[in-house]
Structure 1
């Protein structure tokens, strides 16, 4: 059965989402349920309307993969509003008294007491800085989601977010694409993961994907392609690749990383394919489906090699030595 593409042409448009571009807006269905619609169309730096084809199916696949891994995430559905395609998601803040604070605001507001070097731009997130904030400031797991073995705190769950980024080759976990929820009682909880559309090779043409899938040149193969994915996390001035960002967090938090890799190990190729196949053919080609599956397979294989290394990091002295090698 294919994923449904919801027609929201009769939804009432309420307000533009201030984060990002005017391609995002809040709307409500006839029953009064509120959704954020994210169009695949957006505006470039010159205010020209452009289409980012594939952002809808990549977001949907990321959402379904997250659910299978038990990673808290915003729930996305494919949608269209007559003029353009996109996805819709319900507001994951259920209480009127609660609100979202994005990572850029957290980094700005809590940099001084943590006494950690502040990056010049919010996008240059110091990964150790983020880890300290998760441990000392946010602390609590996402609301409404169950703990897993060795996965209970905000830092534990964020380790899973970075594993998800590495699995998808998602290169868009910038400082406005994670955050905390402040409850009416003033408690801080890590927000569910959201905005994963910049992954699974959605920006590559079918011709490029076909070439990489069939090339005998190892440098052109998908297994090499996925290793190039960059995160928005930095160590000093070095930008980390998505795999390295997860690896570093796993050194800091090895028990959680090992638990998440246990979840990933259960994500078989058949399950991956069954997650991708229901995307309707009119929005995702067969070549794109094969390419996305191969990316998932390659990234999973790379991350599973980290298990012995993370087990060694359960020893505090070994972990301390490894952290120093990154400094």
Structure 2
């Protein structure tokens, strides 16, 4: 059975969401339930429509993978507002007194000086600053989620977010795409992960995907393609690839990384295929489904290869030496 595409044409539009570059707004259904609708349509500098095809199915698949891995995430459903495709998600802040603080605000207030230019492309989000903030400032796990073996704190859960990014080849974990929730009592909790539409090769044409899937040139294979994915995290002036960002957090936090890889190991090819297949053919082609599955398999394999290394990092002296190699 396919995933449902919810028609929100009759929902009441309430206010535009200022964060990010996509066309998105808050709306409510006839029962008064509030949703954020994110369209795959956006606008360029001349106010012309730009279509970001695939961002809806990429977000939906990412959400279902996160739930299977027990990673706290915003819950996304495929949606349509008249002719505009997109996704909807319920507000994950359940209390009227709670509010979200995004990473860019946190880094500005709590970390050493960093490049804070408005353009995301110029942003330098130091991964060690983020880790220290998670350990010393945010500290608490996402609200409403139970601890897992060796996964209890904000930093432990964020390690899982970086594993998810590496699995998806998600290149959009900039500082507005993570944050903390402040409760009415003033406690800080890591927010669930959200905004994963920039993964799974959604921006590549079907022709390019077919060529990579069938090419006899090893340099064109999907296994090489996924290794190019870059994160929004930096060490000094070096931008880390998504796999390296997860590896670095795994060095700092090996028990959590090992625990998350145990979850990932249980995510079989059949399970991943069962998550991808229900996307309606009208919005995701067969070749896109094959390509996304191959990306997931390659990325999973690359991360599982890190397991012996993370086990070595359980030794504090070994971990200290590894951290120095990144300095």
Matches of residues 104-115 of structure 1 in structure 2 within 5 Å? 104-111=104-111
RMSD: 0.9
CA contact (8 A) 1:16 1:22 kept: no
Matched, 1:66 2:66: yes
How much does 1:22 deviate?
Answer: 5.9
How much does 1:156 deviate?
Answer: 0.1
Aligned to 1:125: 125
Aligned to 2:298: 298
Matches of residues 126-205 of structure 1 in structure 2 within 5 Å? 126-205=126-205
Give unpaired runs (5+ residues) of structure 1.
Answer: none
Matched, 1:82 2:82: yes
Structure 1: which 4+ aligned runs deviate by more than 6 Å?
Answer: none
How much does 1:45 deviate?
Answer: 3.8
**CA offsets per residue over residues 25-63 of structure 1, 9 Å max, x none?**
000000000000000001224433200000000000000
Aligned to 1:43: 43
Aligned to 1:10: 10
Q: Secondary structure at the match of 2:20?
A: coil
Q: Secondary structure at the match of 2:14?
A: strand
Normalised to the residue count of structure 1, the TM-score between the two structures is 0.97
Q: For 2:289 and 2:236, how far apart are their aligned partners in 1? A: 37
Q: Secondary structure at the match of 1:225?
A: helix
Q: For 1:107 and 1:165, how far apart are their aligned partners in 2? A: 20
How much does 1:120 deviate?
Answer: 4.4
Q: What is the aligned length? A: 323
Give unpaired runs (5+ residues) of structure 2.
Answer: none
How much does 1:117 deviate?
Answer: 4.9
CA contact (8 A) 1:14 1:28 kept: yes
